């Protein structure tokens, strides 16, 4: 177990270094090289001297390998440079934006799990009956609906027509202020959670079905345990374990969804920051947001795997 955890952490560190390499590549694939990149940042009328000066100041005139090791050193020390456009340290901007995205993703994952698990169990209880088919159909539609389309429909119905919730996500900063504006958080969280609920509930259903074929369930039934007891006491705990892995696996997709959701609801988190800096050619911010999102996702998946290893005593991680 300990050996497994150590190997898993080492693997996560390797992946993080890989993420840094990809960010570095992204930074240097600008067609026409760094001078064209500088021109994109400074504007078409920038003079040659201004561009050379810009490259000097930003360290872009150094040899590539030096820039690469600088980026690695900077990434691990948390110094991510200055935004080209906003004139602030990248880290200052990100540290203001990151908590908002963490709140959004965290709440919607919790919400999704709380809805999807009972939904999946309900479908097993009613399996192959109309309610089960209806929910399966619904989960297909939920999975197929583009996040932004769902967001727009919800805004149109619940915010504009019925005035139940605001159309815009909380604009305050600070954990308490954002959570205090909970009504404004409802629509973004529901929007982001829907795809996850669709996938998880369907998975929960099959996972539960699988657990019900196990020998210990047959034993429980043979002892005369009632159907509900078998499901909730014997099968549920085992059926829940794969959900934890699924959570780690779907984290990148959920973060991608958060980028869209933040844009739909004008929620100033990492996703909105990323999309605006991508359209502004603000390369340090683009790289930093990609890096932070990648690293956060790796850490999230690592935590899910550790939780999985802790939860399932049957798993023996044998070294090769």
d(CA 177, CA 189): 16
Q: State yes or no: residue 294 binds other proteins (CB under 8 A).
A: yes
Q: Which two tokens stand for residue 221?
A: 């039934």
Residue (149 or 182) nearer to other proteins, CB: 149
Q: Among 26, 42, 158, 311, which residue sits at the site for other proteins (rule: CB under 8 A)?
A: 26
Residue 237-276 contact track with other proteins, rule CB under 8 A, x = bound? ----xx--xx-xxx-xx-xx--xx--x----------xx-
Stretch of 59-67, 76-84, 181-189, 296-304 lying at the interface with other proteins (CB under 8 A): 296-304
Range 59-78, binding other proteins (CB under 8 A): none
Give residue 214's region: left, alpha or beta (phi > 0; psi -120 to 50). Answer: beta
Q: State yes or no: residue 317 binds other proteins (CB under 8 A).
A: yes
Residue 160-199 contact track with other proteins, rule CB under 8 A, x = bound? x--------------------------------------x
CB 264 to other proteins: min, Å: 8
CB 105 to other proteins: min, Å: 10
Q: Among 5, 42, 46, 278, which residue sits at the site for other proteins (rule: CB under 8 A)?
A: 278
CB 194 to other proteins: min, Å: 12
Q: Among 95, 156, 219, 227, which residue sits at the site for other proteins (rule: CB under 8 A)?
A: 156
CB 176 to other proteins: min, Å: 27
CB 174 to other proteins: min, Å: 25
d(CA 46, CA 42): 6
SS3 string of 45-101? CCCHHHHHHHHHHCCCCCCHHHHHHHHHHHHHHCCCCECCCCCCEHHHHHHHHHHHH
Residue 95-134 contact track with other proteins, rule CB under 8 A, x = bound? --------------------------------xx------
């Amino acid at each position: 177990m300990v050996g497994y955890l150590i190997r898993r952490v080492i693997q996560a560190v390797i992946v993080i270094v890989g993420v840094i390499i990809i960010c570095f590549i992204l930074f240097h694939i600008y067609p026409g090289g760094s001078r064209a990149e500088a021109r994109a940042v400074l504007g078409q009328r920038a003079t040659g001297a201004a561009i050379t000066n810009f490259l000097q100041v930003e360290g872009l005139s150094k040899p590539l390998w030096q820039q690469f090791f600088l980026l690695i050193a900077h990434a691990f020390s948390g110094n991510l440079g200055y935004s080209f456009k906003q004139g602030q340290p990248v880290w200052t901007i990100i540290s203001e934006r990151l908590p908002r995205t963490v709140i959004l993703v965290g709440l919607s994952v919790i919400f999704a799990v709380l809805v999807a698990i009972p939904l999946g169990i309900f479908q097993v209880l009613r399996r192959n009956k109309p309610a089960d088919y209806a929910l399966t159909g619904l989960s297909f539609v939920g999975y197929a609906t583009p996040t932004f389309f769902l967001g727009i429909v919800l805004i149109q119905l619940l915010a504009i027509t019925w005035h139940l919730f605001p159309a815009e996500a909380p604009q305050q900063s600070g954990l308490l202020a954002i959570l205090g504006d909970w009504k404004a958080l409802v629509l973004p969280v529901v929007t982001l959670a829907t795809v996850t609920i669709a996938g998880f509930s369907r998975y929960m259903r099959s996972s539960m079905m699988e657990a019900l074929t196990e020998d210990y369930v047959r034993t429980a039934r043979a002892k005369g345990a009632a159907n509900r007891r078998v499901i909730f006491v014997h099968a549920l705990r085992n059926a829940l374990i794969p959900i934890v892995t699924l959570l780690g696996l779907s984290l990148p997709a959920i973060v991608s969804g958060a980028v869209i959701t933040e844009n739909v609801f004008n929620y100033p988190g990492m996703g909105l920051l990323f999309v605006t800096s991508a359209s502004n050619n603000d390369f340090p911010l683009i790289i930093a947001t990609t890096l932070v999102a990648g690293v956060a996702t790796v850490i999230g998946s690592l935590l899910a795997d550790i939780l999985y290893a802790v939860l399932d005593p049957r798993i023996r991680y044998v070294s090769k």
